[in-house]
């Protein structure tokens, strides 16, 4: 790879970062304000209800990351996603496809393992799925970019994972644990795709 190809790659990945921010944050923030001021909180009833086969819970599997209980909830997930999406935009050839896979996988695992009397909303399941994907890619698929990111930002990620996996009132352990497991599995199996896409540059 010569310097012109490297610059082209960097520019493309930076554009992807910006695109990912729009892809995730416009629905997240847009639905929060729409829900607050027009829907009177009704959007959140479509959260994930584990093992329920109704349409609402199926919507939650795909869209619970756009549902937040209050502004601090939204802001906390936004701060975490700002960092992780930046890394995804840099290191993933097709980051949009990977994020969609993680949304679906984390939602499905939450649907399977969660308490049947609970409802799960928020983007934290996606946050943990992306963290798991990075760790799985670094440890099992030897993706050196993610390994470097995990080392440099390891303290913050470790604290986030540790706190998120501690059972707390009002915090979805199922979404956090389910998202982390789904991400680890997908990240561990990302080696082949990564090598093929990297060889094109």
Query: Tens digits of per-residue pLDDT, 41-95?
Result: 999 999 999 999 889 889 999 999 999 999 999 999 999 899 889 988 888 888 9
**pLDDT of 162:** 63
The per-residue pLDDT for 199 is 37
* pLDDT for the residue 164: 62
CB-based contact 125:181 (threshold 8 Å)? no
Is residue 198 scored above 70 in pLDDT? no
End-to-end CA distance of the chain, in Å? 7
The whole-angstrom separation of Cα 108 and Cα 129 is 12
Closest among 189, 187, 164, 185 to 175, alpha carbons compared: 164
Q: Can you tell me the mean pLDDT for 158-176? A: 71
Q: In the chain, what percentage of residues exceed pLDDT 70? A: 85
Distance (Å, rounded) from C-alpha 171 to C-alpha 164? 8
Length in residues, the chain? 201
Q: Does 193 score more than 90 pLDDT?
A: no
Look at 139 and 133; give whichever has higher pLDDT: 133
Lowest-confidence range among 3-12, 114-123, 144-153, 192-201?
Answer: 192-201
pTM for this predicted structure: 0.85
Using CA atoms in the order 193, 186, 66, 120, what is the torsion angle rounded to 10 degrees?
A: 170
Find the DSSP H helices in the chain. Answer: 3-37, 55-63, 71-91, 95-113, 124-139, 144-152, 154-164, 173-188, 191-198
Residues 65, 126: contact at Cβ < 8 Å?
Answer: yes
The pLDDT value recorded for residue 33 is: 96
- Taking residue 200's Cβ as centre, other Cβ atoms within 10 Å add up to 7
> Which of 31-40, 61-70, 160-169 has the weakest average pLDDT?
160-169
């Amino acid at each position: 790879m010569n310097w012109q190809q490297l610059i082209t790659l960097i520019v493309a990945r930076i554009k992807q970062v910006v695109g990912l921010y729009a892809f995730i944050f416009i629905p997240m923030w847009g639905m929060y304000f729409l829900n607050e001021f027009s829907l009177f909180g009704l959007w959140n009833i479509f959260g994930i209800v584990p093992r329920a086969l109704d349409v609402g819970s199926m919507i939650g599997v795909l869209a619970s990351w756009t549902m937040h209980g209050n502004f601090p909830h939204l802001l906390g997930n936004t701060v975490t996603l700002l960092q992780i999406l930046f890394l995804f935009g840099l290191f993933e050839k097709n980051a949009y496809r990977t994020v969609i896979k993680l949304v679906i996988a984390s939602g499905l695992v939450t649907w399977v393992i969660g308490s049947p009397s609970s409802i799960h909303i928020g983007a934290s399941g996606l946050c943990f799925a992306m963290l798991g994907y990075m760790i799985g890619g670094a440890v099992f698929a030897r993706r050196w970019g993610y390994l470097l990111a995990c080392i440099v930002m390891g303290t913050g990620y470790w604290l986030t994972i540790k706190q998120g996996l501690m059972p707390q009132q009002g915090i979805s352990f199922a979404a956090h644990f389910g998202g982390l497991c789904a991400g680890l599995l997908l990240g561990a199996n990302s080696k082949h795709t990564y090598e093929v896409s990297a060889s094109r540059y």
